[in-house]
Structure 1
Amino acid sequence: MNGVGPESYGITEYLLIFITYLGLAFIATFFNVCVIYTTKIRFEGGNATFWESINFARSKIGLIFAWSVIAATVGLILRLIDNMAERAGESGRIVLNILTSVLGMMWSIITIFVVPAMVYHNLGPMDAIKKSVETLKRTWGESLIRYFGLGLIQFLFFLLGIIATFILFFVLAGLGPIGIIITVVIALLYFLGVILVFNVANTVFNTALYVYADTGKIPEGYSRETLQNAFKPKG
Structure 2
Amino acid sequence: MMERFNRAVALGGACWRVLMLDKEMLLFPILSVLALGGVLGLVFTPAYMYGTLQQFAETLQESGDPYTNPSFVALMFLLYFLGYFVVTFFNAGLLTCAMIRMSGEDPTVMDGLRAAARMLPQIFAWALFAASVGMILNFISSRSKGLGRIFAGLMGAAWSVAVYFAVPALVVEGVGPVRAVRQSVGMIRKTWGEALVANAGLTILHLAAVYLTIPFVFFLVKDWEQDPVRSMVIAALLVVWIAFTGLIVSTLNAILKAALYIYAYEGRVPENFDSHIMRNAFSED
TM-score range, shorter chain: 0.7 to 0.9
Distance 1:37 1:140, change over 3 A: closer
Distance 1:170 1:47, change over 3 A: farther
Give the whole-Å Cα distance in 1 for the aligned partners of 2:283 and 2:161: 13
Matching residue's letter, 1:146: L
Give the whole-Å Cα distance in 1 for the aligned partners of 2:257 and 2:64: 36
1:36-185 counterparts in 2 under 5 A? 36-85=95-144, 93-137=145-189, 139=190, 146-147=196-197, 148-171=200-223, 173-176=225-228, 178-179=229-230, 181-185=232-236
Residue from 11, 16, 21 that aligns with 2:70: 11
Distance 1:72 1:232, change over 3 A: farther
Does the 8 A contact of 1:172 with 1:180 survive in 2? yes
Structure 2: runs of 5 or more not aligned: 1-58
Distance 1:69 1:2, change over 3 A: closer
Give how far 1:215 is off: 2.5
Deviations 1:200-222 (A, max 9, x none): 11011111111122233221222
Superposition TM-score, scaled by structure 1 size: 0.82
Give the whole-Å Cα distance in 2 for the aligned partners of 1:4 and 1:222: 57
Distance 1:15 1:2, change over 3 A: closer
Deviation larger for 5-14 or 39-48: 5-14
Give the whole-Å Cα distance in 2 for the aligned partners of 1:133 and 1:219: 21
Asked if residue 209 in structure 1 is aligned to residue 267 in structure 2, the reply is: no
Give the whole-Å Cα distance in 2 for the aligned partners of 1:126 and 1:160: 41
Deviation larger for 96-105 or 198-207: 96-105
Matching residue's letter, 1:7: D
Alignment coverage as a number of residue pairs? 224
What's 2:239 paired with?
A: 188
Give the whole-Å Cα distance in 2 for the aligned partners of 1:145 and 1:194: 20
Matching residue's letter, 2:236: V
Matching residue's letter, 2:65: E
Deviation larger for 52-61 or 1-10: 1-10
| Identity between Structure 1 and Structure 2 (%) | 26
Distance 1:191 1:231, change over 3 A: farther
Bigger relative contact order (CA 8 A; separation at least 6): 2
Asked if residue 27 in structure 1 is aligned to residue 78 in structure 2, the reply is: no
Does the 8 A contact of 1:78 with 1:100 survive in 2? yes
Give how far 1:26 is off: 1.3
Give how far 1:6 is off: 6.2
Deviation larger for 200-209 or 179-188: 179-188
What's 1:90 paired with?
A: none
Residue from 214, 219, 229 that aligns with 2:270: 219
